[in-house]
A = this chain, B = another copy of it.
Amino acid sequence: MAPWEKYLIEHKERFMNELFDFLRIPSVSALAEHADDVARAARWVEERLKAAGIESVTVMPTGGHPVVYGEWLHAPGKPTILVYGHFDTQPVDPVELWDSPPFEPTIRGNRIYARGVSDDKGNMFIPIIVAEAILKTGASLPVNLKFLFEGQEEIGSPQLPEFISANKQLLRCDMVLSSDGAQWAEDQPMVVLGTRGLAALFIDIRGPGHDLHSGTYGGTIANPVHALVHILDTLHDHEGRITVDGFYDDVRPITDEIRAKLAELPYDEAQYLEETGSPRTFGEPGYTTYERAGLRPTLEINGLYGGFQGEGLKTVLPAAAHAKISCRLVADQDPGKIIDLLVRHVEKVAPKEVKAAVTGNPSGAIPYLIPPDYAGLKTASAVLKDIYGKEPYRVYMGGSIPTNALFLEHLGAYTIVFAFGQLDELQHSPNEFLRISGYEKGQKAYGHLFQRLGKE
Protein backbone atom coordinates (compact mmCIF):
# COMPACT_ATOMS: atom_id res chain seq x y z
CA MET A 1 0.00 0.00 0.00
CA ALA A 2 1.33 3.39 -1.04
CA PRO A 3 2.04 5.92 1.76
CA TRP A 4 -0.77 8.22 0.47
CA GLU A 5 -3.23 5.33 0.76
CA LYS A 6 -2.14 4.69 4.34
CA TYR A 7 -2.51 8.39 5.09
CA LEU A 8 -6.09 8.37 3.81
CA ILE A 9 -6.94 5.44 6.08
CA GLU A 10 -5.19 6.90 9.10
CA HIS A 11 -7.02 10.24 8.76
CA LYS A 12 -10.34 8.72 7.77
CA GLU A 13 -12.23 9.94 10.83
CA ARG A 14 -10.94 13.49 10.56
CA PHE A 15 -11.84 13.59 6.88
CA MET A 16 -15.35 12.32 7.63
CA ASN A 17 -15.79 15.01 10.30
CA GLU A 18 -14.62 17.63 7.84
CA LEU A 19 -17.01 16.37 5.18
CA PHE A 20 -19.84 16.58 7.72
CA ASP A 21 -18.93 20.21 8.46
CA PHE A 22 -19.04 20.90 4.72
CA LEU A 23 -22.44 19.18 4.38
CA ARG A 24 -23.89 21.20 7.24
CA ILE A 25 -23.61 24.39 5.18
CA PRO A 26 -27.01 24.81 3.43
CA SER A 27 -25.47 26.13 0.22
CA VAL A 28 -28.65 26.09 -1.88
CA SER A 29 -27.77 28.20 -4.89
CA ALA A 30 -31.34 28.53 -6.21
CA LEU A 31 -32.62 30.41 -3.15
CA ALA A 32 -31.61 34.01 -2.51
CA GLU A 33 -31.90 33.55 1.25
CA HIS A 34 -29.07 31.00 1.08
CA ALA A 35 -26.64 33.20 -0.87
CA ASP A 36 -24.58 33.76 2.29
CA ASP A 37 -24.42 30.02 2.84
CA VAL A 38 -23.08 29.48 -0.66
CA ALA A 39 -20.41 32.11 0.09
CA ARG A 40 -19.69 30.36 3.38
CA ALA A 41 -19.25 27.05 1.54
CA ALA A 42 -16.78 28.81 -0.80
CA ARG A 43 -14.72 30.00 2.16
CA TRP A 44 -14.83 26.51 3.64
CA VAL A 45 -13.46 25.07 0.38
CA GLU A 46 -10.79 27.79 0.27
CA GLU A 47 -9.56 26.90 3.76
CA ARG A 48 -9.71 23.20 3.01
CA LEU A 49 -7.62 23.53 -0.15
CA LYS A 50 -5.03 25.60 1.72
CA ALA A 51 -4.85 23.00 4.48
CA ALA A 52 -4.25 20.33 1.84
CA GLY A 53 -1.15 22.16 0.64
CA ILE A 54 -2.69 23.68 -2.49
CA GLU A 55 -1.30 27.08 -3.44
CA SER A 56 -2.65 30.41 -4.69
CA VAL A 57 -6.02 29.48 -3.25
CA THR A 58 -8.57 32.21 -3.66
CA VAL A 59 -12.30 32.83 -3.69
CA MET A 60 -13.08 34.66 -6.92
CA PRO A 61 -16.23 36.65 -7.66
CA THR A 62 -18.27 35.84 -10.77
CA GLY A 63 -21.14 38.30 -10.54
CA GLY A 64 -23.23 35.41 -9.21
CA HIS A 65 -22.11 32.91 -6.59
CA PRO A 66 -18.29 32.80 -6.27
CA VAL A 67 -15.85 30.14 -7.46
CA VAL A 68 -12.81 28.82 -5.61
CA TYR A 69 -9.51 28.40 -7.45
CA GLY A 70 -6.29 26.76 -6.28
CA GLU A 71 -3.23 25.19 -7.91
CA TRP A 72 -0.12 23.13 -7.43
CA LEU A 73 2.21 23.51 -10.42
CA HIS A 74 5.54 21.99 -9.46
CA ALA A 75 5.62 19.01 -11.82
CA PRO A 76 7.43 20.42 -14.87
CA GLY A 77 6.97 18.38 -18.01
CA LYS A 78 3.95 16.64 -16.55
CA PRO A 79 0.39 17.22 -17.72
CA THR A 80 -1.77 19.87 -16.08
CA ILE A 81 -5.07 18.54 -14.83
CA LEU A 82 -7.96 20.82 -13.91
CA VAL A 83 -10.23 19.28 -11.25
CA TYR A 84 -13.78 20.60 -11.38
CA GLY A 85 -16.67 20.27 -8.92
CA HIS A 86 -19.36 22.33 -7.20
CA PHE A 87 -20.13 23.18 -3.59
CA ASP A 88 -23.70 24.37 -4.09
CA THR A 89 -26.69 22.04 -3.64
CA GLN A 90 -30.25 21.60 -4.82
CA PRO A 91 -33.10 22.90 -2.63
CA VAL A 92 -34.50 20.42 -0.09
CA ASP A 93 -38.26 20.61 -0.57
CA PRO A 94 -40.42 18.69 0.08
CA VAL A 95 -38.48 18.75 3.35
CA GLU A 96 -41.10 16.65 5.17
CA LEU A 97 -40.09 13.62 3.10
CA TRP A 98 -36.57 13.54 4.56
CA ASP A 99 -35.94 10.87 7.19
CA SER A 100 -33.20 13.00 8.73
CA PRO A 101 -32.65 16.76 8.35
CA PRO A 102 -31.06 17.47 4.95
CA PHE A 103 -28.26 19.59 6.37
CA GLU A 104 -27.55 17.39 9.37
CA PRO A 105 -25.48 14.59 7.81
CA THR A 106 -26.34 11.19 9.25
CA ILE A 107 -24.78 7.78 8.69
CA ARG A 108 -27.27 4.93 8.42
CA GLY A 109 -25.90 1.58 7.32
CA ASN A 110 -23.09 2.21 4.87
CA ARG A 111 -24.48 5.47 3.61
CA ILE A 112 -24.11 9.14 4.42
CA TYR A 113 -27.43 10.97 4.14
CA ALA A 114 -27.40 14.72 3.41
CA ARG A 115 -28.43 17.17 0.70
CA GLY A 116 -25.48 17.55 -1.65
CA VAL A 117 -23.50 14.57 -0.38
CA SER A 118 -23.64 12.74 -3.71
CA ASP A 119 -24.14 15.88 -5.81
CA ASP A 120 -21.48 17.07 -5.39
CA LYS A 121 -19.87 17.79 -2.02
CA GLY A 122 -18.83 14.23 -1.20
CA ASN A 123 -17.40 13.75 -4.67
CA MET A 124 -15.52 17.07 -4.89
CA PHE A 125 -14.04 16.51 -1.43
CA ILE A 126 -12.22 13.37 -2.66
CA PRO A 127 -9.56 14.91 -4.97
CA ILE A 128 -8.78 17.51 -2.27
CA ILE A 129 -7.94 14.95 0.38
CA VAL A 130 -6.14 12.76 -2.13
CA ALA A 131 -3.93 15.71 -3.08
CA GLU A 132 -3.30 16.31 0.64
CA ALA A 133 -2.42 12.65 1.19
CA ILE A 134 0.11 12.63 -1.65
CA LEU A 135 1.62 15.99 -0.71
CA LYS A 136 1.91 15.18 3.00
CA THR A 137 3.50 11.78 2.35
CA GLY A 138 5.77 12.59 -0.59
CA ALA A 139 5.98 16.39 -0.81
CA SER A 140 5.27 16.32 -4.54
CA LEU A 141 2.36 15.55 -6.84
CA PRO A 142 2.87 13.44 -9.98
CA VAL A 143 0.99 15.96 -12.13
CA ASN A 144 0.27 19.67 -12.09
CA LEU A 145 -3.13 20.27 -10.52
CA LYS A 146 -5.59 23.12 -10.79
CA PHE A 147 -8.81 23.15 -8.83
CA LEU A 148 -11.92 24.99 -9.90
CA PHE A 149 -14.96 24.61 -7.68
CA GLU A 150 -18.09 26.60 -8.39
CA GLY A 151 -21.18 27.61 -6.40
CA GLN A 152 -23.93 27.72 -9.00
CA GLU A 153 -23.96 24.43 -10.84
CA GLU A 154 -27.46 23.62 -9.63
CA ILE A 155 -28.86 26.77 -11.21
CA GLY A 156 -27.08 26.18 -14.50
CA SER A 157 -23.82 28.07 -13.86
CA PRO A 158 -25.07 31.39 -15.30
CA GLN A 159 -21.83 33.36 -14.80
CA LEU A 160 -19.37 30.54 -15.38
CA PRO A 161 -19.05 30.85 -19.17
CA GLU A 162 -17.93 34.45 -18.81
CA PHE A 163 -15.62 33.54 -15.92
CA ILE A 164 -13.91 30.75 -17.84
CA SER A 165 -13.64 32.87 -20.94
CA ALA A 166 -12.06 35.70 -18.91
CA ASN A 167 -9.62 33.37 -17.15
CA LYS A 168 -8.35 31.16 -19.96
CA GLN A 169 -4.72 31.69 -18.96
CA LEU A 170 -5.33 30.84 -15.32
CA LEU A 171 -7.34 27.73 -16.14
CA ARG A 172 -5.25 26.44 -19.06
CA CYS A 173 -4.85 22.67 -18.79
CA ASP A 174 -4.42 19.47 -20.75
CA MET A 175 -7.49 17.69 -19.42
CA VAL A 176 -10.31 18.25 -17.00
CA LEU A 177 -11.45 15.80 -14.35
CA SER A 178 -15.02 16.45 -13.29
CA SER A 179 -16.00 15.24 -9.84
CA ASP A 180 -19.64 15.87 -10.76
CA GLY A 181 -21.24 12.63 -11.90
CA ALA A 182 -21.61 9.06 -10.74
CA GLN A 183 -20.60 5.44 -11.18
CA TRP A 184 -22.88 2.79 -12.57
CA ALA A 185 -23.15 0.63 -9.44
CA GLU A 186 -21.28 -0.31 -6.30
CA ASP A 187 -19.33 -2.97 -8.19
CA GLN A 188 -19.52 -1.58 -11.71
CA PRO A 189 -17.63 1.47 -12.99
CA MET A 190 -18.51 3.54 -16.01
CA VAL A 191 -17.08 6.26 -18.20
CA VAL A 192 -19.20 8.99 -19.71
CA LEU A 193 -19.18 9.53 -23.47
CA GLY A 194 -21.66 12.36 -23.40
CA THR A 195 -23.86 14.59 -21.25
CA ARG A 196 -27.06 16.30 -22.28
CA GLY A 197 -27.46 20.04 -22.63
CA LEU A 198 -30.05 22.18 -20.87
CA ALA A 199 -32.45 24.95 -21.85
CA ALA A 200 -35.07 26.25 -19.46
CA LEU A 201 -37.89 28.75 -19.48
CA PHE A 202 -40.65 30.13 -17.30
CA ILE A 203 -44.24 30.74 -18.37
CA ASP A 204 -46.30 33.25 -16.41
CA ILE A 205 -49.96 33.78 -17.20
CA ARG A 206 -51.92 36.74 -15.86
CA GLY A 207 -55.67 37.20 -16.08
CA PRO A 208 -57.71 39.26 -13.61
CA GLY A 209 -55.96 41.80 -11.39
CA HIS A 210 -56.60 39.72 -8.27
CA ASP A 211 -58.13 36.37 -7.34
CA LEU A 212 -61.86 36.60 -8.08
CA HIS A 213 -64.87 34.91 -6.45
CA SER A 214 -65.53 32.01 -8.79
CA GLY A 215 -69.24 32.31 -8.12
CA THR A 216 -69.57 35.97 -8.96
CA TYR A 217 -67.20 35.99 -11.92
CA GLY A 218 -66.85 32.34 -12.95
CA GLY A 219 -67.79 31.93 -16.61
CA THR A 220 -67.29 35.59 -17.56
CA ILE A 221 -63.54 36.15 -17.19
CA ALA A 222 -60.83 33.87 -18.60
CA ASN A 223 -59.16 31.70 -15.98
CA PRO A 224 -55.33 31.88 -16.31
CA VAL A 225 -55.02 28.29 -15.10
CA HIS A 226 -57.12 27.11 -18.03
CA ALA A 227 -54.86 29.03 -20.40
CA LEU A 228 -51.74 27.58 -18.81
CA VAL A 229 -52.89 23.95 -18.97
CA HIS A 230 -53.82 24.47 -22.60
CA ILE A 231 -50.38 25.83 -23.46
CA LEU A 232 -48.62 23.05 -21.56
CA ASP A 233 -50.78 20.35 -23.11
CA THR A 234 -49.62 21.38 -26.59
CA LEU A 235 -45.98 20.54 -25.81
CA HIS A 236 -46.21 16.74 -26.15
CA ASP A 237 -48.34 14.22 -27.96
CA HIS A 238 -49.92 11.41 -25.97
CA GLU A 239 -46.98 9.10 -26.69
CA GLY A 240 -44.45 11.51 -25.23
CA ARG A 241 -43.07 13.09 -28.42
CA ILE A 242 -42.33 16.80 -28.19
CA THR A 243 -44.66 18.72 -30.51
CA VAL A 244 -42.82 22.02 -30.72
CA ASP A 245 -42.06 22.92 -34.34
CA GLY A 246 -38.39 22.38 -35.17
CA PHE A 247 -37.50 20.92 -31.77
CA TYR A 248 -35.89 17.77 -33.20
CA ASP A 249 -34.35 19.46 -36.27
CA ASP A 250 -30.73 19.45 -35.06
CA VAL A 251 -30.81 16.15 -33.18
CA ARG A 252 -28.01 13.85 -34.32
CA PRO A 253 -29.55 10.47 -35.16
CA ILE A 254 -28.34 7.51 -33.11
CA THR A 255 -26.09 5.34 -35.28
CA ASP A 256 -26.62 1.60 -35.48
CA GLU A 257 -23.19 1.15 -33.88
CA ILE A 258 -24.10 3.23 -30.85
CA ARG A 259 -27.47 1.52 -30.57
CA ALA A 260 -25.75 -1.86 -30.56
CA LYS A 261 -23.26 -0.73 -27.90
CA LEU A 262 -26.02 0.68 -25.70
CA ALA A 263 -28.03 -2.50 -26.09
CA GLU A 264 -25.09 -4.42 -24.58
CA LEU A 265 -25.45 -2.54 -21.29
CA PRO A 266 -27.42 -4.52 -18.73
CA TYR A 267 -30.91 -3.14 -18.28
CA ASP A 268 -33.31 -4.42 -15.65
CA GLU A 269 -36.74 -2.85 -16.12
CA ALA A 270 -38.00 -4.10 -12.74
CA GLN A 271 -35.02 -2.55 -11.00
CA TYR A 272 -35.41 0.68 -12.94
CA LEU A 273 -39.03 0.92 -11.84
CA GLU A 274 -38.15 0.13 -8.26
CA GLU A 275 -35.45 2.80 -8.32
CA THR A 276 -37.92 5.42 -9.54
CA GLY A 277 -41.03 4.12 -7.78
CA SER A 278 -42.82 4.52 -11.09
CA PRO A 279 -45.58 2.16 -12.28
CA ARG A 280 -44.02 1.82 -15.74
CA THR A 281 -41.52 3.35 -18.13
CA PHE A 282 -42.79 5.77 -20.73
CA GLY A 283 -41.28 7.83 -23.50
CA GLU A 284 -40.69 8.61 -27.12
CA PRO A 285 -41.74 5.60 -29.22
CA GLY A 286 -39.01 3.73 -31.09
CA TYR A 287 -36.28 4.20 -28.48
CA THR A 288 -35.03 2.18 -25.51
CA THR A 289 -34.83 3.64 -22.01
CA TYR A 290 -31.07 4.23 -22.35
CA GLU A 291 -31.49 5.87 -25.71
CA ARG A 292 -34.26 8.09 -24.32
CA ALA A 293 -32.20 9.03 -21.29
CA GLY A 294 -28.88 9.66 -22.99
CA LEU A 295 -29.28 10.43 -26.67
CA ARG A 296 -32.77 11.88 -27.09
CA PRO A 297 -33.88 15.33 -25.96
CA THR A 298 -36.67 15.93 -23.43
CA LEU A 299 -39.03 18.66 -22.33
CA GLU A 300 -40.14 18.33 -18.71
CA ILE A 301 -42.42 20.58 -16.70
CA ASN A 302 -40.45 20.84 -13.46
CA GLY A 303 -43.14 22.72 -11.57
CA LEU A 304 -46.45 24.49 -11.94
CA TYR A 305 -48.73 26.43 -9.65
CA GLY A 306 -51.70 28.74 -9.61
CA GLY A 307 -54.65 29.58 -7.34
CA PHE A 308 -55.48 27.87 -4.08
CA GLN A 309 -53.26 25.05 -2.83
CA GLY A 310 -54.33 24.71 0.80
CA GLU A 311 -56.41 22.07 2.45
CA GLY A 312 -59.96 21.71 1.18
CA LEU A 313 -61.58 24.04 -1.28
CA LYS A 314 -61.36 27.74 -2.04
CA THR A 315 -63.65 28.86 -4.81
CA VAL A 316 -61.45 31.40 -6.53
CA LEU A 317 -60.82 32.26 -10.12
CA PRO A 318 -57.05 32.72 -9.80
CA ALA A 319 -55.30 35.88 -10.97
CA ALA A 320 -52.25 34.04 -12.30
CA ALA A 321 -50.69 30.67 -13.13
CA HIS A 322 -47.06 29.69 -13.58
CA ALA A 323 -44.90 26.90 -15.00
CA LYS A 324 -41.19 26.10 -14.96
CA ILE A 325 -39.93 24.03 -17.86
CA SER A 326 -36.55 22.58 -18.76
CA CYS A 327 -35.34 20.66 -21.78
CA ARG A 328 -32.44 18.24 -21.88
CA LEU A 329 -30.68 18.61 -25.20
CA VAL A 330 -28.48 16.34 -27.27
CA ALA A 331 -25.89 16.99 -29.97
CA ASP A 332 -26.28 19.17 -32.06
CA GLN A 333 -29.09 21.13 -30.44
CA ASP A 334 -28.38 24.69 -29.33
CA PRO A 335 -29.94 25.93 -26.06
CA GLY A 336 -30.54 29.44 -27.40
CA LYS A 337 -32.28 28.17 -30.50
CA ILE A 338 -34.46 25.81 -28.45
CA ILE A 339 -35.55 28.68 -26.18
CA ASP A 340 -36.47 30.68 -29.27
CA LEU A 341 -38.57 27.81 -30.62
CA LEU A 342 -40.37 27.46 -27.31
CA VAL A 343 -41.01 31.18 -26.97
CA ARG A 344 -42.48 31.19 -30.47
CA HIS A 345 -44.56 28.10 -29.74
CA VAL A 346 -46.04 29.55 -26.56
CA GLU A 347 -46.81 32.82 -28.31
CA LYS A 348 -48.61 30.86 -31.01
CA VAL A 349 -50.78 28.70 -28.75
CA ALA A 350 -51.39 31.06 -25.80
CA PRO A 351 -55.06 32.06 -25.59
CA LYS A 352 -55.47 35.74 -26.40
CA GLU A 353 -57.77 36.46 -23.46
CA VAL A 354 -54.90 36.32 -20.95
CA LYS A 355 -51.39 37.78 -20.84
CA ALA A 356 -48.71 35.14 -21.33
CA ALA A 357 -45.09 36.00 -20.56
CA VAL A 358 -42.32 33.61 -21.49
CA THR A 359 -38.84 34.08 -20.06
CA GLY A 360 -35.85 32.03 -21.10
CA ASN A 361 -33.61 31.04 -18.21
CA PRO A 362 -30.33 32.90 -18.79
CA SER A 363 -28.17 29.83 -18.20
CA GLY A 364 -28.16 26.78 -20.40
CA ALA A 365 -25.81 23.96 -21.24
CA ILE A 366 -24.52 22.81 -24.58
CA PRO A 367 -24.74 19.06 -25.20
CA TYR A 368 -21.34 17.38 -24.92
CA LEU A 369 -19.73 14.37 -26.59
CA ILE A 370 -16.18 13.06 -26.06
CA PRO A 371 -14.36 11.09 -28.79
CA PRO A 372 -14.65 7.43 -27.75
CA ASP A 373 -10.92 6.89 -28.40
CA TYR A 374 -9.63 9.89 -26.41
CA ALA A 375 -6.41 8.96 -24.58
CA GLY A 376 -7.43 10.31 -21.18
CA LEU A 377 -10.56 8.21 -21.35
CA LYS A 378 -8.43 5.10 -21.83
CA THR A 379 -6.28 5.96 -18.81
CA ALA A 380 -9.30 6.62 -16.62
CA SER A 381 -10.88 3.38 -17.84
CA ALA A 382 -7.75 1.42 -16.95
CA VAL A 383 -7.72 2.85 -13.40
CA LEU A 384 -11.37 2.03 -12.93
CA LYS A 385 -10.81 -1.48 -14.20
CA ASP A 386 -7.96 -1.98 -11.71
CA ILE A 387 -10.07 -0.83 -8.78
CA TYR A 388 -13.40 -2.43 -9.61
CA GLY A 389 -12.00 -5.48 -11.35
CA LYS A 390 -14.37 -4.82 -14.24
CA GLU A 391 -14.26 -2.99 -17.55
CA PRO A 392 -16.24 0.26 -17.14
CA TYR A 393 -19.47 0.63 -19.06
CA ARG A 394 -19.38 3.37 -21.69
CA VAL A 395 -22.53 5.44 -21.27
CA TYR A 396 -24.32 8.59 -22.33
CA MET A 397 -25.56 10.45 -19.24
CA GLY A 398 -28.98 12.03 -19.15
CA GLY A 399 -27.94 14.87 -16.86
CA SER A 400 -26.18 18.06 -17.87
CA ILE A 401 -22.70 19.16 -16.90
CA PRO A 402 -22.57 22.54 -18.62
CA THR A 403 -18.88 22.88 -17.86
CA ASN A 404 -17.96 19.89 -20.05
CA ALA A 405 -18.83 21.86 -23.17
CA LEU A 406 -17.50 25.11 -21.71
CA PHE A 407 -14.03 23.72 -21.00
CA LEU A 408 -13.89 22.31 -24.48
CA GLU A 409 -14.97 25.60 -26.02
CA HIS A 410 -12.71 27.92 -24.01
CA LEU A 411 -9.77 25.77 -22.92
CA GLY A 412 -9.73 23.22 -25.71
CA ALA A 413 -9.69 20.46 -23.10
CA TYR A 414 -11.89 17.41 -22.84
CA THR A 415 -13.48 16.53 -19.55
CA ILE A 416 -13.40 13.06 -18.02
CA VAL A 417 -16.22 12.56 -15.56
CA PHE A 418 -14.53 10.93 -12.59
CA ALA A 419 -17.04 10.73 -9.79
CA PHE A 420 -17.96 8.08 -7.26
CA GLY A 421 -21.57 8.60 -6.28
CA GLN A 422 -24.12 6.34 -7.93
CA LEU A 423 -27.09 6.92 -10.18
CA ASP A 424 -29.59 5.79 -7.54
CA GLU A 425 -28.42 8.04 -4.72
CA LEU A 426 -31.46 10.36 -4.89
CA GLN A 427 -29.54 13.36 -6.16
CA HIS A 428 -32.10 16.23 -6.33
CA SER A 429 -34.61 14.19 -4.23
CA PRO A 430 -35.34 13.85 -0.53
CA ASN A 431 -32.98 11.49 1.35
CA GLU A 432 -30.01 12.04 -0.96
CA PHE A 433 -27.16 9.80 0.12
CA LEU A 434 -23.63 8.71 -0.77
CA ARG A 435 -22.38 5.17 -0.29
CA ILE A 436 -19.27 5.12 1.88
CA SER A 437 -17.90 2.38 -0.38
CA GLY A 438 -18.02 4.81 -3.34
CA TYR A 439 -16.43 7.54 -1.28
CA GLU A 440 -13.55 5.21 -0.45
CA LYS A 441 -13.14 3.74 -3.93
CA GLY A 442 -13.05 7.30 -5.25
CA GLN A 443 -10.07 8.14 -3.06
CA LYS A 444 -8.12 5.20 -4.39
CA ALA A 445 -9.14 5.95 -7.95
CA TYR A 446 -8.09 9.63 -7.86
CA GLY A 447 -4.75 8.70 -6.31
CA HIS A 448 -4.03 6.06 -8.90
CA LEU A 449 -5.20 8.25 -11.78
CA PHE A 450 -2.90 11.11 -10.72
CA GLN A 451 -0.01 8.62 -10.51
CA ARG A 452 -0.75 7.10 -13.87
CA LEU A 453 -1.21 10.44 -15.64
CA GLY A 454 2.17 11.47 -14.20
CA LYS A 455 3.84 8.52 -15.86
CA GLU A 456 2.41 8.99 -19.33
Contact = CB atoms under 8 A, between A and B. Distances in A.
A179 interface: no
Contacts of A381: none
A397 B211 contact: no
Q: List the number of copies, as a whole number.
A: 2
A271 interface: no
A298 B233 contact: no
A406 B306 CA distance: 33
A412 interface: no
A218 B209 CA distance: 36
A163 interface: no
A90 to B, nearest CB: 6
- Chain A binding surface, main DSSP class: loop
A60 interface: no
Contacts of A445: none
A261 interface: no
Interface stretch (A46-54, A384-392, A425-433): A425-433
Contact of A292 (B30, B220, B229): B220
A238 B233 contact: no
Contacts of A76: none
Contacts of A281: 220-221
Contact of A156 (B228, B313, B321, B351): B313
Interface stretch (A250-258, A353-361, A448-456): A353-361
Interface stretch (A4-12, A166-174, A282-290): A282-290
A298 to B, nearest CB: 4
A119 to B, nearest CB: 8
A256 B384 CA distance: 83
A278 B221 contact: yes
B429 A212 contact: yes
Interface in A209-249: 209-223, 225-226, 228-230, 232-233, 235-236, 238, 240
B305 A314 contact: no
B212 A353 contact: no
B301 A223 contact: yes
A300 B31 contact: no
Contacts of A429: 210-213, 316
Given A30-B312, A216-B423, A283-B219, A276 B209 contact: yes
B310 A31 contact: yes
A398 interface: yes
Contacts of A284: 219
A313 B302 contact: yes
Interface string A292-317: 11001110111111111111111111
Given A31-B312, A238-B230, A353-B280, A219 B306 contact: no
Given A211-B429, A428-B212, A429-B213, A303 B278 contact: no
Contacts of A282: 220-222, 353
A161 interface: no
A280 B353 CA distance: 6
A223 B301 CA distance: 8
Given A217-B276, A310-B30, A399-B213, A303 B316 contact: yes
Contacts of A400: 215
4 closest cross-chain pairs (CB), A and B: A209-B277, A215-B399, A303-B307, A303-B308
Given A215-B398, A220-B292, A307-B324, 18 more contacts: A93-B308, A97-B210, A210-B429, A210-B431, A211-B428, A213-B398, A213-B399, A220-B289, A220-B398, A226-B301, A228-B229, A229-B301, A277-B319, A301-B318, A302-B318, A303-B306, A304-B307, A313-B361
23 contacts: A94-B211, A200-B313, A207-B278, A209-B278, A210-B277, A210-B430, A215-B397, A216-B397, A217-B398, A218-B298, A219-B293, A220-B282, A220-B293, A229-B232, A229-B301, A229-B304, A279-B354, A302-B315, A303-B316, A304-B304, A304-B307, A313-B326, A313-B361
